[in-house]
Structure formats: structure tokens, C-alpha cells
């Protein structure tokens, strides 16, 4: 994928459909903000819209650790987040259960939608209601390659949601290549990646004494057995890496919330397991955690790895933008991004240990290289302009 930034691009009215009110978590919020803020800074007339969905679940409340039918916590969270980035008047939430619009746009939402040029449905997170069906360009952004395609193949309702779009992008950048094992669900997926608004991710001084860190879930949802092959979660990828802390002689820390993780076994093997509550309840606390880290060390979802998807984490892109090197299990991303300077893919424990050692041996050099990788591969105007121009090429 060649990314070209065209300064003369037409100003478009773009709707970003996301998952901030229902999922008020720091890392997920940044994933959506990069699109929303990035498009706004590029001069587009952009709005964030979210739908409650059809289930009773409206919002996760991390303070009470419950899923709530009342979206009040998420609405307050969104107001805080959007105000901080100067976009507090550009969002709305449709509550399907009460059939009304909430948020600053209120009753203006339908008028804005009626004149929209394009929508981006991030992470397949929102239903396409009748008032969205007339938007000329309806782009589905798959951030969960392999699993999205399997859902389309086994879940008719999920496939119908996908069918409501006319442009399809995936973080599985190796889709369609000979050795990529993302199942063919019949949709014409195009490669894309996480945009990063670089001026929102400043490089702060780093320390040799801080830890290699990551923020993760052991099991986001159950793995899938499809066509005789199992595609699992991060916990399924971990078997070969238990002893990394004792063998590397550097502190390794993970901020992890889910109860399915074998915490005591991790602690017994030298892992630091931190409570993510103070990290993930605010986007800037989450960002600060990354900026205080020495580097990232992370395992990828088993399904991304065995599928050779080329997926690259929005979280890892944030580490790179912060000038923090990344040592990350290879999903096939080494095919499209430069490695060995600021970024170290690994396929086994020996390569993982070598990556950690390399980062530590010439730390400042790799910090500088990490930021350069973010600038070259994840710069928001480049990524988003490619996505826009490719969309219009497809629907012509």
C-alpha cells in the first residue's frame, strides 16, 4: 500500500461511527479519536456518531465494573473526552431503546447525516440504521482480521451488517496474499492501518530504568474453530513465553483486566501484573502509561499470528509515536513495515529475547527510530487520505 497525502483533497462531510460511549476505555477511545481528530485537522467536516445497538447493554462502567442499561457514564465520559480535544459540539448518541438522540448535536444529527458524503464504521461497531443507508460511501473498517471474516461466514446477522456497506477495509494488511490465511467471506477487503495524530502523541524523555509494558486482555472473547483450524486469543499465544522475564533480566509488565488470566502463574514466572483501572479509565492516563514505559513487549492474538494477517496494533502504533521501541509477536507485519530499528518482530522465544536485548543495547537510537516509523507508516493524513481516495476509486 502506497500512502500519498494530497493537500488539495476535497473537503468532505464524514461521519465516524464508533464505540466510545458504550466502551469508555482509554485505549479504545484513542483508536477512535485518531480518526475523528485526524480528519478534523485535515479540514474535513467530521462528526462522531454512536448507536446503542439493539441489545439491552448500553455502556460499560469501569468504576462499578458492570455493564449498564443506562448510558449516563459513557455520555459523561464522551463529553469530557471530546471537550479536551476541542470537538465537544461534534458528536451524538442514538439511544435505540428510547428512540432519541443524545449529546450536543441532538436533533441536528439527522440533518447532518442527510448531507454526509462518507461514513467510517470503525471496528464494525454500529448498525446501519435507515437514516445512514443513503450515505454515498459507507466504509467498514475491520480491526479484527480473521475473526471478522469468520463471523461473516457463520453469523447471518453479522454478514447482513457487513452487506450494508459498499467499501471494505481491514487491518489484515496481508489479505489476499498467498500465505495469508484470512478466510474468504466474499467481501472485497482492502488493506488499511491505524492512523496516528502525531502532534497528539508527543515524545517525552525516556528512562532506561522503566519497564517493558503492554496493555492487554488474556481472552477478549472465545476463540473460533473454523474449517478445521483453531484461531485463538492472546492466552493461546502465550505458551512459549512464560519465562521471558527471568531470561531477559529486564522488568516486563502487563496491565490486564480480565479474570480469565492465570495471574499467579504469571507472577511466579516474574511478570509484573498491574491493575489497569487507573490506566484505562481515561485516554490520557492510558497515554501516560505508554509514555512512562521503556518500550513495549507484547504477544498478539493467536488468530492473527496463525492467520499471517499482517495486523498491527493501534496500541503498538501509539508506543512508536511516543518514541518507545516495540518488541511484538509477528503477525506477518514484517512484510510491510521496516523492522530491526525501533521495531522487533519475533516468532519464537529466542527472537523475543534478542529483540529485548537489542532495544536495551542501543536504547536512544531505537527510541528515535520508533518515532520515525510512526511518522512514515502511521501518520494520520497519509493513512486517512489513502482510505478516502481508495474508497472513491472503488465506488466509481
Residues 34 and 168 in one domain: yes
Question: Does some domain include residue 274?
Answer: yes
Contacts of 6-11 with CB under 8 Å at 24 or more apart are 6/385, 6/389, 9/42, 9/385, 9/388, 9/389, 11/43, 11/44, 11/45
Residues 184 and 271 in one domain: no
Residues 310 and 366 in one domain: yes
- pLDDT given at position 9: 57
Question: Does some domain include residue 4?
Answer: no
Question: Does some domain include residue 174?
Answer: yes
- pLDDT given at position 3: 39
Question: Does some domain include residue 1?
Answer: no
Residues 168 and 82 in one domain: yes
DSSP state of 89: T
Q: Given the DSSP bridges, would you call strands 59-61 and 66-68 parallel, antiparallel or unpaired?
A: antiparallel
- pLDDT given at position 62: 73
**Residues contacting 235, CB < 8 A, separation 6+:** 218, 219, 260, 261
Residues 90 and 22 in one domain: yes
Residues 121 and 239 in one domain: no
Question: Does some domain include residue 7?
Answer: no
Residues 342 and 390 in one domain: no
Residues 179 and 207 in one domain: no
Question: Does some domain include residue 132?
Answer: yes
Q: What are the phi and psi torsion angles at 77 (to 5°)?
A: -60, -45
Question: Does some domain include residue 2?
Answer: no
181: CATH: 3.40.50
- The span from the CA of 393 to the CA of 396, in Å, is 6
pLDDT tens, the chain, 396 aa long:
443 334 445 899 999 999 999 999 999 999 999 999 999 999 999 999 999 998 877 777 777 766 777 899 999 999 999 999 999 999 999 999 999 999 999 889 999 999 999 999 999 999 999 999 999 999 999 999 999 999 999 999 999 999 999 999 999 999 999 999 999 999 999 999 999 999 999 999 887 679 999 999 999 899 999 999 999 999 999 989 999 999 998 999 999 978 889 999 999 999 999 988 878 889 999 999 999 999 999 999 999 999 999 999 999 999 999 999 999 999 999 999 999 999 999 999 999 999 999 999 999 999 999 999 999 999 999 999 999 999 999 998
277-287-31-131 Cα dihedral, nearest 10 degrees: 70
Residues 119 and 229 in one domain: no
The domain tally of the chain equals 2
Residues 387 and 372 in one domain: no
What are the grid coordinates assigned to 158, written together?
A: 453479522
Residues 279 and 387 in one domain: no
243: CATH: 3.40.50.2000
207-212-214-217 Cα dihedral, nearest 10 degrees: -150
Residue 128, domain extent: 13-193+380-395
Question: Does some domain include residue 6?
Answer: no
Residues 373 and 387 in one domain: no
pTM for the full predicted model: 0.95
Amino acid at each position: 500500500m502506497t500512502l500519498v497525502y494530497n493537500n488539495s483533497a476535497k473537503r468532505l462531510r464524514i461521519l465516524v461511527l464508533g464505540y466510545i460511549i458504550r466502551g469508555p476505555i482509554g485505549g479504545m477511545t484513542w483508536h477512535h479519536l485518531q480518526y475523528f481528530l485526524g480528519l478534523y485537522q485535515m479540514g474535513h467536516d467530521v462528526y462522531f456518531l454512536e448507536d446503542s445497538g439493539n441489545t439491552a447493554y448500553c455502556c460499560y462502567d469501569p468504576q462499578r465494573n458492570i455493564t449498564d442499561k443506562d448510558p449516563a457514564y459513557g455520555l459523561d465520559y464522551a463529553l469530557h473526552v471530546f471537550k479536551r480535544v476541542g470537538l465537544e459540539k461534534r458528536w451524538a448518541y442514538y439511544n435505540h431503546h428510547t428512540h432519541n438522540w443524545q449529546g450536543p448535536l441532538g436533533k441536528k444529527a439527522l440533518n447532518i447525516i442527510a448531507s454526509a458524503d462518507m461514513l467510517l464504521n470503525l471496528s464494525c461497531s454500529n448498525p446501519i440504521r435507515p437514516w445512514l443507508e443513503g450515505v454515498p460511501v459507507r466504509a467498514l473498517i475491520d480491526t479484527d482480521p480473521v475473526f471478522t471474516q469468520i463471523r461473516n461466514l457463520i453469523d447471518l446477522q453479522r454478514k447482513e451488517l457487513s452487506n450494508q456497506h459498499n467499501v471494505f477495509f481491514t487491518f489484515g494488511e496481508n489479505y489476499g496474499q498467498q500465505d495469508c490465511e484470512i478466510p474468504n467471506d466474499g467481501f472485497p477487503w482492502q488493506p488499511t492501518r491505524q492512523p496516528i495524530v502525531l502532534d497528539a502523541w508527543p515524545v517525552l524523555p525516556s528512562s532506561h530504568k522503566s519497564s517493558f509494558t503492554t496493555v492487554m486482555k488474556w481472552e477478549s472473547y472465545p476463540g473460533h474453530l473454523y474449517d478445521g483450524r483453531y484461531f485463538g486469543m492472546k492466552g493461546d499465544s502465550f505458551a512459549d513465553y512464560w519465562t521471558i522475564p527471568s531470561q531477559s533480566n529486564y522488568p516486563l509488565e502487563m496491565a490486564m483486566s480480565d479474570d480469565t488470566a492465570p495471574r499467579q502463574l504469571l507472577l511466579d514466572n516474574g511478570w509484573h501484573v498491574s491493575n489497569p483501572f487507573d490506566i484505562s479509565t481515561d485516554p490520557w492516563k492510558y497515554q501516560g502509561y505508554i509514555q512512562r514505559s521503556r518500550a513495549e513487549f507484547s504477544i498478539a492474538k493467536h488468530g492473527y499470528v496463525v492467520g499471517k494477517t499482517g495486523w498491527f496494533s493501534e496500541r503498538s502504533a501509539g508506543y512508536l509515536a511516543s518514541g518507545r521501541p516495540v518488541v511484538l509477536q509477528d503477525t506477518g507485519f514484517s512484510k510491510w513495515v521496516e523492522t530491526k530499528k525501533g521495531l522487533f518482530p519475533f516468532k519464537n522465544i529466542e527472537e523475543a529475547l534478542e529483540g529485548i536485548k537489542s532495544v536495551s543495547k542501543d536504547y536512544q537510537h531505537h527510541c528515535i527510530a520508533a518515532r520515525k516509523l510512526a511518522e512514515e507508516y502511521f501518520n494520520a493524513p497519509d493513512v486517512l487520505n489513502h482510505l478516502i481516495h481508495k474508497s472513491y476509486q472503488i465506488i466509481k
